Amino acid sequence: MTSVLFKNGIVISQNSRREVFRGNVLVNNGIIEYTGKEAREAEEIVDCTHKIVMPGLINTHTHVAMAHLKGQLDDMPLSSFLEKTFVLDGQRTEKGLYRSAVLGSVEMLNSGVTSFLDLYYGEDLVTKACMDVGIRGFLSWNTLDQDKTTQSGDTISNAENFIKKHAGSDLVRPSIGVQGVYVAEDDIFMRAKEVSARYGTLVHIHLAETREEVYNFARGHGGERPIEHLHRIGFLGSSVVAAHCVWANSSEISYLAKNDVSVSWNPVSNSKLGVGGIAPVIEMKQKGVRVSIGSDSSGSNNSLDVMQSMKMGALMVKNQRWDPSVIRASEILDMATVVASSSLRADDIGSIEPGKRGDIITLDTQNPRLFPTNEENAISNVVYSADSSCVSDVMVNGDFRKRSGILLAMPYRDWKREELV
């Protein structure tokens, strides 16, 4: 399909003026060519009279190849979760890792996610899954201390080789990651930063997720906390996307802001793991830190559903502050679209504007959850009322992955559970 017209929909553009209007969106050869009220012709017309047309959602923290682990790591704190995960990681096969990544990618497409930022080893297999399924993957090869990894070889070299091999690919943008201060010494962080600078990639890390992480680290480092430490050694910078930052105090938030770090907030995962706090998203936003939304893994979430995370995150913050006005629906939607794209240094996605990639979803406004929706309440209804059952069409790079509520491919259906290990 070379040209598709989304006709007469409620368009949530997420452009710089955040315009919401009834009109048309034309995608030609994978790129958005026109948005507005004028008539346009195309090879395929999608009647959007009863649809919201909006940018695909962006999930900024996943471990997609853990999609088969749902229901296996429940009701335990992060320390036990990680111990169990490291054992499970050691048992994984290439086939299982690939298949689990396919499953997670399809789950995301089904719920309107068209791009995700991943952190894992074996990202070459996740790359193949992204290509086969047709989802945009920002894939960070995870690194950590040699004596704490199940990877063979030097983890930094593994990450560098992955970046070299996949640089310039259409759907996949490779990068490097670091698991966290609890399994990586300073030299891993600094070598990862050096690789990211050399290849111009992101560095994707876990940071200040639990109080235990922060206090254990501080105990072993003369009272210095993880964010302070990474600031002092010169690791923090604009290429860093830090997942969680739940336990960041106000001077640490200043370090995140000063160093132009992006934060991925994972409200559902944080709550399920009972981390005991809510990330200081209001203070981070006030100081100018980019805060986007991630799901985290199917082990700690247990879904990859950004819509659920948007609603839950909004409600958690409002309730914590005794103030429903402290964060608005439009700010939450920004986190899952334009703020996410700028966190990923991907200015070609995140909004519906001419020149951007054809990463577009539609939501069915005749679904009872969304009825009645108009231009005025569309953003509120997406954030507070919709769920993934409302996602009607999903397009990535100009190609449909879901049409009229039906996934076009569900390759996992005949796989046995043990084949995803």
> Toward Zn ion, which CB reaches closer, 89 or 296?
296
The CB-of-180 to Zn ion minimum distance in angstroms stands at 9
**134's torsion region: left (phi>0), alpha (psi -120 to 50) or beta?**
left
> Toward Zn ion, which CB reaches closer, 112 or 180?
180
Q: Which residues bind Zn ion (CB under 5 A)?
A: 296
The CB-of-53 to Zn ion minimum distance in angstroms stands at 31
The CB-of-398 to Zn ion minimum distance in angstroms stands at 31
Handedness of CA 306, 311, 315, 317 (dihedral sign): positive
| Cβ atoms of residues 306 and 339 within 8 Å | no
> Toward Zn ion, which CB reaches closer, 268 or 333?
268
> Toward Zn ion, which CB reaches closer, 205 or 289?
205
> Toward Zn ion, which CB reaches closer, 270 or 367?
270
The CB-of-386 to Zn ion minimum distance in angstroms stands at 25
Q: What angle do CA 147, 151, 157 make, to 5 degrees?
A: 95
Neighbours of 120 (CB within 10 A): 23
Measured CA to CA, the distance from residue 160 to residue 192 in angstroms comes to 9
Handedness of CA 70, 142, 227, 182 (dihedral sign): positive
**H-run or E-run covering 24:** strand 20-28
Q: How far apart are the first and last CA of the chain?
A: 36
> Toward Zn ion, which CB reaches closer, 296 or 305?
296
The CB-of-223 to Zn ion minimum distance in angstroms stands at 26
The CB-of-242 to Zn ion minimum distance in angstroms stands at 11
> Toward Zn ion, which CB reaches closer, 26 or 293?
293
**H-run or E-run covering 362:** strand 360-364
Measured CA to CA, the distance from residue 62 to residue 80 in angstroms comes to 19
The CB-of-257 to Zn ion minimum distance in angstroms stands at 22
For 31, counting Cβ atoms within 10 Å of its Cβ (0-12 exposed, 13-18 middle, 19+ buried), the class is middle
Strands 399-403 and 406-407: antiparallel
> Toward Zn ion, which CB reaches closer, 73 or 352?
73
The CB-of-368 to Zn ion minimum distance in angstroms stands at 34
Closest residue to Zn ion: CB criterion: 296
What backbone phi and psi angles, to 5 degrees, belong to 136? Answer: -85, 120
> Toward Zn ion, which CB reaches closer, 298 or 351?
298
Residue 421: name the closest of 29, 32, 5, 91 by CA: 91
Distances (CA, A) of 248 to 226, 277, 314: 9, 10, 19
Handedness of CA 395, 68, 63, 146 (dihedral sign): negative
3-state SS string over 101-112? HHHHHHHHHHCC
The CB-of-391 to Zn ion minimum distance in angstroms stands at 24
The CB-of-206 to Zn ion minimum distance in angstroms stands at 5
> Toward Zn ion, which CB reaches closer, 63 or 357?
63
